[in-house]
Amino acid sequence: MLGNFTYCNPTRLYFGKGAVENLKSELANYGPNVVLVYGGGSIKKNGIYDTVVKILKECGKNITEDGGVMPNPTTEKLNEGARIARESKADLLLAVGGGSVCDYSKAVSVSAYCNEDPWEKYFIRFEEPSCKTIPVGCVLTMVGTGSEMNGGSVITNPAQKLKIGHVFGPEIFPKFSVLDPVYTFTLPKYQMVAGIYDIMCHILEQYLSGDDDNTGDYIAEGLMRSLVHSSLVAVKDPLDYEARSNIMWTATWALNTLIAQGKATDWEVHMLGQAVGAHTDATHGMTLAAVSMAYYRTILPYGTHRFARLAENVWGVDPAGKTPLAVAEEGLAAMLDWMKKLGLVLHLSELGVKDDMFEGLADSTAINEGGYKKLTREEVINIFKQSM
Amino acid sequence: MLGNFTYCNPTRLYFGKGAVENLKSELANYGPNVVLVYGGGSIKKNGIYDTVVKILKECGKNITEDGGVMPNPTTEKLNEGARIARESKADLLLAVGGGSVCDYSKAVSVSAYCNEDPWEKYFIRFEEPSCKTIPVGCVLTMVGTGSEMNGGSVITNPAQKLKIGHVFGPEIFPKFSVLDPVYTFTLPKYQMVAGIYDIMCHILEQYLSGDDDNTGDYIAEGLMRSLVHSSLVAVKDPLDYEARSNIMWTATWALNTLIAQGKATDWEVHMLGQAVGAHTDATHGMTLAAVSMAYYRTILPYGTHRFARLAENVWGVDPAGKTPLAVAEEGLAAMLDWMKKLGLVLHLSELGVKDDMFEGLADSTAINEGGYKKLTREEVINIFKQSM
């Protein structure tokens, strides 16, 4: 059954080849001071930096740079970004990069004029901003997180070994996002497939929960079918525009709140994966891939019906003459086969996890209640062990 | 392939039992003068009128009534509504009803301060509003058109025997819509199933076009699967909240621009059905149902591949050992079986069409180019004949 909800997603998306040209009309909506936020500098190699700076200058903007955003943006970097935004009197934070850069920009938006410690206020106490915030715009160069059309922002506190996400309301969503599939062509294959798995995981976190009939679950199945199809094309030919554009579009709808409306969600794979990220700084999508199978095998007995539906409707398993459990397990086997075809990391040992880290990882793992089984600490440790 | 597009859908939706309570906070965003727009008066029988008026009064609004909006709103009624809105200095047009009431309110929004004949400007020349417009809000009581979250507005000119839709931009979308599935419980079965078919038809108009792989088509398949499932529950038990809520949610996503992004669309069934509506004033969804099969059989040879995909992914046809044509035809047969189970009108003769009306109907039928076959006038007439 659909529970009650309020839905509002005001982000304006410019999608397609050359979509960055739309920046010109969008920038007219904001004042002169723009903070250009980006990551490790890949946008300087592939020309996107030059393109964006040229447009900003043509539009008469004052540019302040905030580069060097790391894959797992830290509290220290956040405090620096808040200072830069405040001191430059930013009218717009323009995030040019992937999910980390966009997530970070949203955190800067709510932190620049925050009178308290932003980490404590937003990521420990999960409060909403009570201060002035700064509009965020996004030029996406990496696909996966869905950050271009949602309020999600994940920040890492290295001292506390915690990586925590806050989902802000529509007023913090990017005002606009530029989605040009061609911008993702130069991404290394490792990053591309990590992003693809992040998308799949986002959908499954929302799909593997609840027993009820819900239109959102049917939409989720459609998104997964599209993703499986396009990912297998893209992994063979990363320059296939059709596949890359569908992956980009799927990523947006996988996590822009639609398929979660009115139903329970899980998010435990993200809790496990984010613990790994906090301890190893590994690529987000790969941390999810490495822990997924052990987690799904742990909860499958508690949600067999839904895993069987997934097997049938997404992985093409023929249920004739089989028990739901057999169908469900066949579906997981098909999913594992797909993960191997993509070349995902399937072992935590490849991400820097050591045998003496399990207790610390468990300490960093939040336990959710929305899925088919609330994990015990022992189960959490076993999942990490089985994922090695 | 996904073509370039801009996506923006800013409508705020309040979904679920008792969602009308959210009107109180929403109304604070608008000035004191509200025009209450409604249809034939069913909202006075089922109590929704009293509920809304009570809230409006509690919020201190001045209420001007604009009732009597007919199922196919006319140019004459539109001119009257524009005058009412202008003379009452409306700050908000609150549409309480189904798609016709919501469509009409959008037309009033762009017509109240229009210096030209609105019919000529918007529905013949398809121009965008150049005058001040009035915000529209919606309390939905009937499901099908998707008008609660899009820019569509269909108006009928009885003198010219034309029923034409204009799709306005996001600034004309309802600012908010209240979607309470319980409000649809009292709808007569005829109206309920007509709405269900309108939803299916909206999805198919966007799905039965193009050859390319597009995530939107996968989402469309999910929506159709959900609709087929829920409609068969609802037709047996109209008070099944789960089914009615999923139908309501599916209707919104069937026509809020998402599944059409980046691809061709058809809309020829609507052109044929709207011609029937202009000549007979018949219920919209039934006009679509009556002409669909003849239309689909006409274009099937030109889009066999897509009809076969539809058969397999939505109607559950097993393709093993069959030609695509056989699969496609089996899918249409399954769809016809579903239409019969719903009790849809399958013959134009039951909607008041006579044998001497075919030429006039053809005169009123616009010929689109987005589908698998651009119809000739002879084919249009044959479709009407075969639909008798």
Tell me the three-class secondary structure of chain B, residue by residue.
CCCCEEEEEEEEEEECCCHHHHHHHHHCCCCCEEEEECCCCHHHHCCHHHHHHHHHHHCCCEEEEECCCCCCCEHHHHHHHHHHHHHCCCCEEEEEECHHHHHHHHHHHHHCCCCCCHHHHHHHCCCCCCCCCCCEEEEECCCCCCHHHCCEEEEEECCCCEEEEEECCHHHCCCEEEECHHHHCCCCHHHHHHHHHHHHHHHHHHHCCCCCCCHHHHHHHHHHHHHHHHHHHHHHCCCCHHHHHHHHHHHHHHCCCHHHCCCCCCCHHHHHHHHHHHHHCCCHHHHHHHHHHHHHHHHHHHCHHHHHHHHHHCCCCCCCCCCHHHHHHHHHHHHHHHHHHHCCCCCHHHHCCCHHHHHHHHHCCCCCCCCCCCCCHHHHHHHHHHCC
Q: Work out the widest C-alpha separation in chain B, in whole angstroms.
A: 68
Strand B62-66 relative to strand A92-97, pairing: unpaired
Average pLDDT (B367-386) is 96
Is the confidence at residue B2, as pLDDT, over 90? no
Which residues of chain B have a CB within 8 Å of the CB of A196?
none
Give percent helix, percent strand, percent coil of chain A, each to the nearest 5: 55, 15, 35
Same fold flag, A12-183 and A190-386? no
Q: With CB atoms and an 8 Å threshold, state whether B215 touches A246.
A: yes
Residue A110 structure tokens? 């709510």
Report the chain A residue with the minimal C-alpha distance to residue B242.
A1
Q: With CB atoms and an 8 Å threshold, state whether B242 touches A212.
A: yes
Compute the distance between CA of residue B77 and CA of residue B68 in angstroms, rounded to an integer. Answer: 9
C-alpha dihedral sign at B86, B169, B220, A309: negative
Report the chain B residue with the minimal C-alpha distance to residue A14.
B6
Chain B, 116-155: which have a CB under 8 Å from a chain A CB?
Answer: none
How distant is the Cα of B162 from the closest Cα of chain A, in angstroms? Answer: 34
Q: With CB atoms and an 8 Å threshold, state whether A2 touches B17.
A: no
A/B interface, count of CB pairs below 8 Å: 136
Closest of B193, B239, B192, B201 to residue B223, by C-alpha:
B201
pLDDT band at B104 (very low <50, low <70, confident <90, very high): very high
Is the confidence at residue A1, as pLDDT, over 90? no
Q: Are A375 and A291 in contact (CB under 8 A)?
A: no
Secondary structure element (H or E) that encloses residue A162, with its range:
strand A162-167
Q: With CB atoms and an 8 Å threshold, state whether A219 touches B221.
A: no
How many angstroms from the chain centroid is the CA of residue B245?
A: 17
Mean residue pLDDT of chain A comes to 96
Report the chain A residue with the minimal C-alpha distance to residue B1.
A242
Q: With CB atoms and an 8 Å threshold, state whether A262 touches B245.
A: yes
CA B178 to each of CA B41, B108, B193: distance values in angstroms, whole numbers, following the listed order: 19, 20, 21
pLDDT for B211 equals: 82
pLDDT for B291 equals: 98
Compute the distance between CA of residue A243 and CA of residue A232 in angstroms, rounded to an integer. Answer: 9
pLDDT for A180 equals: 98
How distant is the Cα of B181 from the closest Cα of chain A, in angstroms? Answer: 10
**A249 shares contact with chain B (CB less than 8 Å):** yes
Of A19, A222, A230, the CB nearest to B222: A222
pLDDT band at A211 (very low <50, low <70, confident <90, very high): confident
Strand B5-15 relative to strand B176-179, pairing: parallel
**A15 shares contact with chain B (CB less than 8 Å):** yes
**A115 shares contact with chain B (CB less than 8 Å):** no
Closest of B226, B187, B180 to residue B203, by C-alpha:
B226
Q: With CB atoms and an 8 Å threshold, state whether B2 touches A12.
A: no
CATH architecture of B189-386: Up-down Bundle (1.20)
Identify how many contiguous H helices and E strands chain A contains and give both numbers.
15, 8
Report the chain B residue with the minimal C-alpha distance to residue A3.
B16
Q: Are B384 and B348 in contact (CB under 8 A)?
A: yes
The residue of A215, A240, A248 whose CB has the most chain B CBs within 10 angstroms, and thus the best one to mutate to test that interface, is A215
pTM: 0.96
For chain B, percent of residues with pLDDT exceeding 90: 96
Is the confidence at residue B159, as pLDDT, over 80? yes
Helical pair A215-236 and A241-254, crossing angle rounded to 10 deg: 150
Which residues of chain A have a CB within 8 Å of the CB of B181?
2
Secondary structure element (H or E) that encloses residue A173, with its range:
none
The CATH number of A12-183 is 3.40.50.1970
Compute the distance between CA of residue B223 and CA of residue B254 in angstroms, rounded to an integer. Answer: 7
Is the ipTM here above 0.85?
yes
Count of CB atoms situated within 10 Å of the CB of A237? 11
Q: Which residues, in sequence order, are CB contacts of A30 under 8 Å at separation 6+?
A: A91, A92, A135, A137
> Is A177 strand, coil or helix?
strand
The residue of A183, A219, A318 whose CB has the most chain B CBs within 10 angstroms, and thus the best one to mutate to test that interface, is A219
**B16 shares contact with chain A (CB less than 8 Å):** yes
The residue of A26, A246, A253 whose CB has the most chain B CBs within 10 angstroms, and thus the best one to mutate to test that interface, is A246
**A14 shares contact with chain B (CB less than 8 Å):** yes
Which residues of chain A have a CB within 8 Å of the CB of B17?
4
Which residues of chain A have a CB within 8 Å of the CB of B219?
219, 222-223, 226, 253
Query: Where do the domains of chain A lie?
Result: 12-183, 190-386
Which residues of chain B have a CB within 8 Å of the CB of A26?
none
pLDDT band at B8 (very low <50, low <70, confident <90, very high): very high
**A7 shares contact with chain B (CB less than 8 Å):** yes
pLDDT for A28 equals: 97
Of A8, A17, A212, the CB nearest to B4: A17
Secondary structure element (H or E) that encloses residue A10, with its range:
strand A5-15
The predicted-structure confidence for B227-272, as pLDDT tens digits, reads as follows: 999 999 999 999 999 999 999 999 999 999 999 999 999 999 999 9
Residue A222 structure tokens? 């459609």
Residue B127 structure tokens? 């121009």
Closest of A339, A295, A332, A298 to residue A317, by C-alpha:
A332
Q: With CB atoms and an 8 Å threshold, state whether B2 touches A242.
A: yes
Compute the distance between CA of residue A240 and CA of residue A230 in angstroms, rounded to an integer. Answer: 9
Average pLDDT (B350-371) is 96
Q: With CB atoms and an 8 Å threshold, state whether B218 touches A225.
A: yes
Compute the distance between CA of residue B89 and CA of residue B67 in angstroms, rounded to an integer. Answer: 17
pLDDT for A350 equals: 98
Q: Which residues, in sequence order, are CB contacts of A295 under 8 Å at separation 6+?
A: A268, A269, A272, A383
Residue A105 structure tokens? 């920009």
Is the confidence at residue B1, as pLDDT, over 80? no
How many angstroms from the chain centroid is the CA of residue A384?
A: 21
Q: Which residues, in sequence order, are CB contacts of B25 under 8 Å at separation 6+?
A: none
Which residues of chain A have a CB within 8 Å of the CB of B14?
6
The predicted-structure confidence for A337-383, as pLDDT tens digits, reads as follows: 999 999 999 999 999 999 999 999 999 999 999 999 999 999 999 99
Average pLDDT (A46-73) is 97
Which residues of chain A have a CB within 8 Å of the CB of B261?
15, 249
pLDDT band at B212 (very low <50, low <70, confident <90, very high): confident
Q: With CB atoms and an 8 Å threshold, state whether A215 touches B253.
A: yes
Secondary structure element (H or E) that encloses residue A65, with its range:
strand A62-66
Chain A, 38-77: which have a CB under 8 Å from a chain B CB?
Answer: none
How distant is the Cα of B72 from the closest Cα of chain A, in angstroms? Answer: 29
Average pLDDT (B177-196) is 96
Mean residue pLDDT of chain B comes to 96
pLDDT band at A261 (very low <50, low <70, confident <90, very high): very high
Residue B53 structure tokens? 């008026």
pLDDT for A2 equals: 87
pLDDT for A361 equals: 97
How distant is the Cα of B188 from the closest Cα of chain A, in angstroms? Answer: 23
**A292 shares contact with chain B (CB less than 8 Å):** no
How distant is the Cα of A134 from the closest Cα of chain B, in angstroms? Answer: 19
Report residue A92: phi and psi, to 5°: -155, 135
Q: Which residues, in sequence order, are CB contacts of B378 under 8 Å at separation 6+?
A: none
pLDDT for A41 equals: 86
Closest of A186, A224, A210, A213 to residue A98, by C-alpha:
A186
The predicted-structure confidence for A148-193, as pLDDT tens digits, reads as follows: 999 999 999 999 989 899 999 999 999 999 999 999 998 999 999 9
CA-CA-CA-CA dihedral for B188, B252, B336, B237, to nearest 10: -40
Q: Tell me, which fold does domain A190-386 have in CATH?
A: Dehydroquinate synthase-like, alpha domain (1.20.1090)
Q: Are A269 and A201 in contact (CB under 8 A)?
A: yes
